[in-house]
């Protein structure tokens, strides 16, 4: 017991030092005072249309302008640093200080093809101690389904990452085949480097997207039109607009008429990764657990064990990565290795009849093409990464 108390005291001392350093950095940044932040009305909520009506002049000025509200500036800083809630917004008497997220850096060998063997299985082991308090208490630890970290539910509550509704979900799914993603893996935006993050922020600012707001279908399509015109210097085609509308539906599985900010940010983050990084670099982002699930999926599809599967089977596997929520369909609790045809009621199979129609020639060509293990990984890597968040939304809609 004495050892445990000593370790906890050490952790608390480190957290106090981290808090002091954070406060010192905040002072150097000359952030607005708490009083000005309160007068600005806190973080913005609601739809993008409402936010624009309330502060169109502030949004058009950009976050670097002196006259911008302190709340908007704080939201941009949280987006830049990958933070969800500021430390000063916590009740310090009952909460831990949130960790400082460090964005990854690209290495020189990232673009080289990684050695991921199909035959050589990897031993996947979870950490023995809680990531937050560094205490081992066996069965009360909740493992992440993506990485090796484990957590106490009490520590997650004190961090502010576990609210009443999500606590039930973590308890029910963390020890099942469905699994639960920790706050590191749940945030796809943390995969971006500082340079990639600044690129995304510039795009959002140019399109007048206000952080921490929900987006309606009109907002989403307007944003997609602006991004497409900025990138290709020509209007978006009708087929591309239809695809964007399908992506919106995938991000709004509950049909609320808008998509949440964190779902939109995850979608844009994975889109940017797909655009800027080669597939070899994306493959290096996969964890041992994700690589093992990919092996199990491929081996289940390779019935004759010749090292090849059909194109149709590979396409169906892209939908299977998103079968992680028990509340969606009865088949959601199956293993990732049980790859089969998608049900008509599945969110991943939703789409217009026009986009799902296939000519006999196209189907024949699809069945004729074979996919080996390296190709299977490259073609599925973005969908595996996009399936990390706990949200029911599909952050990257697979093609029909």
Instruction: Give the tens place of pLDDT for each residue, 266-304.
Output: 999 999 999 999 999 999 999 999 999 999 999 999 988
Q: In the prediction, which pLDDT does 120 show?
A: 87
More confident position, 199 or 16 = 199
Q: In the prediction, which pLDDT does 195 show?
A: 94
Distance from C-alpha of 280 to C-alpha of 347, rounded to nearest angstrom: 29
Token look-up 């699930």 returns: 293
Distance from C-alpha of 238 to C-alpha of 215, rounded to nearest angstrom: 21
The rounded percent of the chain whose pLDDT value lies above 70 is: 64
Q: In the prediction, which pLDDT does 174 show?
A: 81
User: Domain tally for the chain?
Assistant: 1
Question: Is residue 176 one of the residues assigned to a domain?
Answer: yes
DSSP state of 216: E
Question: Is residue 291 one of the residues assigned to a domain?
Answer: yes
**Per-residue pLDDT band at 53 (split at 50, 70, 90):** low
Question: Is residue 235 one of the residues assigned to a domain?
Answer: no
CB contact at 8 A, 127 and 296: no
Token output for 131:
């990531």
Question: Is residue 340 one of the residues assigned to a domain?
Answer: no
Question: Is residue 236 one of the residues assigned to a domain?
Answer: no
The pLDDT mean for the chain works out to 75
**Per-residue pLDDT band at 365 (split at 50, 70, 90):** low
pTM value is: 0.71
CB contact at 8 A, 281 and 106: yes
Summarize the confidence of residues 136-163 as an average pLDDT. 84
Question: Is residue 208 one of the residues assigned to a domain?
Answer: yes
Token output for 280:
């070899």
Q: In the prediction, which pLDDT does 399 show?
A: 79
Q: In the prediction, which pLDDT does 215 show?
A: 95
Residue 336 CB neighbour total at 10 angstroms: 22
Question: Is residue 341 one of the residues assigned to a domain?
Answer: no
Question: Is residue 373 one of the residues assigned to a domain?
Answer: yes
Which residues constitute the domain of residue 317?
A: 70-214+260-323+369-399
More confident position, 352 or 357 = 357
Report the candidate in 73, 95, 84, 60 with the shortest Cα–Cα distance to residue 29. Answer: 73
């Amino acid at each position: 017991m004495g050892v445990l108390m000593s370790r906890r005291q050490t952790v608390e001392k480190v957290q106090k030092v981290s808090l002091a350093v954070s406060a010192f950095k905040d002072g150097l940044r000359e952030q607005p005072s708490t009083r000005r932040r309160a007068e600005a009305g806190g973080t913005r909520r609601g739809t993008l249309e409402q936010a624009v009506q309330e502060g169109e002049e502030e949004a058009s000025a950009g976050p670097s302008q002196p006259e911008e509200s302190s709340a908007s500036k704080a939201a941009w800083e949280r987006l830049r640093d990958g933070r969800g809630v500021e430390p000063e917004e916590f009740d310090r008497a009952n909460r831990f200080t949130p960790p400082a997220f460090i964005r990854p850096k690209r290495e020189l060998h990232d673009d080289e093809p990684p050695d991921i063997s199909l035959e050589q299985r990897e031993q996947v082991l979870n950490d023995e101690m809680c990531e937050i308090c560094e205490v081992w208490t066996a069965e009360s630890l909740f493992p992440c389904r993506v990485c090796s970290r484990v957590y106490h539910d009490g520590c997650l509550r004190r961090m502010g990452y576990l609210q009443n509704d999500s606590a039930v979900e973590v308890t029910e799914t963390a020890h099942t085949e469905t699994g639960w993603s920790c706050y590191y893996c749940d945030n796809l935006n943390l995969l971006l480097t500082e340079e990639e993050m600044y690129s995304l922020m510039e795009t959002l600012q140019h399109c007048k997207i206000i952080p921490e707001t929900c987006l309606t279908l009109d907002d989403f399509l307007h944003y997609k039109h602006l991004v497409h015109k900025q990138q290709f210097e020509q209007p978006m085609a009708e087929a591309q607009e239809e695809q964007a509308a399908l992506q919106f539906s995938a991000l709004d599985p509950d049909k609320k008429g808008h998509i949440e900010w964190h779902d939109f940010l995850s979608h844009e983050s994975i889109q940017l990764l797909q655009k800027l990084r080669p597939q070899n670099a994306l493959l290096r982002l996969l964890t041992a657990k994700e690589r093992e699930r990919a092996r199990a999926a491929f081996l289940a599809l390779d019935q004759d064990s010749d090292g090849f599967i059909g194109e149709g089977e590979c396409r169906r596997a892209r939908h299977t990565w998103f079968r992680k929520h028990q509340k969606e369909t009865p088949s959601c609790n199956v293993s990732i290795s049980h790859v089969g045809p998608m049900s008509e009621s599945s969110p991943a199979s939703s789409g217009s009849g026009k986009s799902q129609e296939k000519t006999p020639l196209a189907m024949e060509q699809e069945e004729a093409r074979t996919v080996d293990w390296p190709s299977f990984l490259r073609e599925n890597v973005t969908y595996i990464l996009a399936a990390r968040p706990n949200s029911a939304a599909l952050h990257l809609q697979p093609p029909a």
